[in-house]
Amino acid sequence: MTAFTGVILAGGQGSRMGGQDKGLLMLQGEPLYQHVLRRYRPQVDIVLISANRNIDRYQASGCQVVTDSMPDYPGPLAGMLSGLRHSKTAWVAFCPCDTPWLPSDLVARLWQERGDAPAVWVKSSQRDHPALALVNCALADDLEAWLLRGERRLMQFLREHDGHAVAFSDAESAFRNINTPDDLVNEETLS
């Protein structure tokens, strides 16, 4: 295998969480992003955190924090662009901060199923999860141009650049994410 940078996407506005910084919401006594970091760190060579507020709290993890280069929270693609621009490796794995149950072989499985594609993402039996992706840094310039045109559709960008989905049979439990206060309460109950 090659070297990988992992990027935890924690730069959103948290609009479905009442404006709270989703990565810092507590689950089982620790911030959501820490759950992701614990499962992610063994799979990659270095972890970056894409965040646009509470920078000092994320830096306390020992990870480098990168911010969006574009204003007004343009979505996960902006965090991905920052991750690609700051990566010291050719390949960058991305994961949202609200997906605390990642499989321990996420990056390896994406890499193995990639073929010659410059980007791959997770697909469960029910839907695609394009923010759980492995992307080559060669796409950074095209991604920046895409964002500057006002485009925000992540999966369309990945598809138009010859990316493809990778099926994960355990995706329903491993990739369930926490988008609302109810989701957070349900996760506390399940765990």
* Sequence ranges of the binding site for GTP: 9-11, 22, 68, 98
DSSP class per residue in 94-153: EEETT-TT--TTHHHHHHHH-TT-SEEEEE-SS-EEEEEEEEEGGGHHHHHHHHHTT---
The letter for the amino acid at 48 is: L
Collapsing DSSP to helix, strand or coil, 168 comes out as coil
Which residues fall in the annotated binding site?
Answer: 9-11, 22, 68, 98
Dist. CA 101–CA 22, nearest whole Å? 15
Which residues fall in the annotated binding site for Mg(2+)?
Answer: 98
